[in-house]
Structure 1
Amino acid sequence: MAKLNVAIIPGNGAGGDIRSCNWYGWLQDELQPGIECRLRDMPDPYYAKSSVWLPFMQKSLRCDESTVVVGHSSGAVAALRYAETHRVRGIILVSAYLSDLGDSVEAASGYFDGEWNWQAISSNSSFIVQFASKDDHLVPFSEQLKVTAELRQHGEVDLQEFEDRNHFMQSAFPELAHIIRARTQT
């Protein structure tokens, strides 16, 4: 197997210098030099269209069977859609959802135009971890649990439940770094 790497897929709206947004740059610094961590400014950062982001994940972030894809918010949705057709080492979802939440920007992204292939997502990843917070002001906890329920029908998902992390927009995320190391034994 090729050398392990991590690709961080941010949420939409995270424009500008992605390293300074939320915990993204912190995680990259925390994991390196032991794990290659791919973090790039995303094209189309506001709408996060699937037609733009999924090819970018393949070509620029080189997400493959050696990659742990860490997706936050709409980045989690992109990670799920990517794993429908691509083998990855693992998927870590942060504030994941499976509908457009009644939001016109989400509806325009293209991620919710077709049925989900939960079996392929589970089969194309050796592990899935999901971080969810009950007080998330953007993604209802019930929506996050729907993702868990769908995934568990076809495989295992490790649900990391929190009471007080809101939309996981803190500047550090030690639990995430710990999970990556534990799941990849580095």
Structure 2
Amino acid sequence: MSLGDSVNTANKVVIIPGNGAGNVEYCNWYGWTKKKLNKMKGLECLLENMPDPLTARENVWLPFMENNLKCDEKTIIIGHSSGAAAAMRYVESHKVHAIILVSAYTSDLGDENERESGYFNRPWQWEKMKENCRHIVQFGSTDDPFLPWTEQQEVADMLGAELHKYTDKGHFQNTEFRELINVVCKIINHSS
């Protein structure tokens, strides 16, 4: 059976990067992960430079996720940092197969750019998120230089996420991310 045969099976992974400039193919672990996942039979992994890459505005990113990247019930969304905030807001109103949150947080952290993104101006709809996806996994590290652990833990607690907690991964900006590949494989195998 190929991955696309079952209604309950994901056949696409979409990586939503953190905000910033430059080509996301060469940023952090994004391009490496895309190459690894695209080698898996029956699975497509998408990674694109996002519009409005510096501020990562919700009113720009969420329509792009829906209309351009076609995130749907067969999609696993991997969101990193601002991409994790986008993934969480997206699943408040859209069904997807799974979300994998990397360096997720809950507030604008007192940062003007984060405030302008629009993700943090209202309460999170945790119950809607849980209703709209079958699997929720989170990667976080206590030594993240940008995010307090309390916010990362809040996301895990409120979503009942399968939490992969580290003390030495910082903001997950390495060029490889093997644990992430293992989690994607686990989600797909659990679904088929």
What's the TM-score once normalised by structure 1's chain length?
Answer: 0.95
CA displacement 1:151-175 (0-9 Å, x = unmatched): 13xxxx1000011000000000000
Which aligned pairs between 1:1-186 and structure 2 lie closer than 5 A? 1=7, 4-13=11-20, 15-34=21-40, 35-152=43-160, 157-185=161-189
Segments of 4+ moved more than 3 angstroms: none
Instruction: Give the 3-state SS of the residue equivalent to 2:133 in structure 1.
Output: coil
Distance apart, 1:16 and its partner CA? 2.0
Distance apart, 1:136 and its partner CA? 0.2
Residue identity over aligned pairs, in percent, reads 48
Kindly indicate whether the alpha-carbon contact (under 8 Å) linking 2:79 and 2:85 is maintained by their aligned counterparts in 1. yes
Instruction: Give the 3-state SS of the residue equivalent to 2:96 in structure 1.
Output: coil
CA displacement 1:73-115 (0-9 Å, x = unmatched): 0100000000000000000000000111111100010111122
Instruction: Give the 3-state SS of the residue equivalent to 2:94 in structure 1.
Output: coil
- Give the gaps of 5 or more residues in structure 2: 1-6
Single out whichever of 143-152 and 53-62 deviates more from structure 2.
Answer: 143-152
Whole-Å Cα distance in 2 between the matches of residues 145 and 16 of structure 1? 30
Whole-Å Cα distance in 2 between the matches of residues 160 and 74 of structure 1? 19
Instruction: Give the 3-state SS of the residue equivalent to 2:76 in structure 1.
Output: strand
Whole-Å Cα distance in 1 between the matches of residues 177 and 157 of structure 2? 25
Kindly indicate whether the alpha-carbon contact (under 8 Å) linking 2:142 and 2:165 is maintained by their aligned counterparts in 1. yes
- Over aligned residues, Cα RMSD in angstroms? 1.1
Distance apart, 1:33 and its partner CA? 2.9
Distance apart, 1:27 and its partner CA? 0.2
What's the TM-score once normalised by structure 2's chain length?
Answer: 0.92
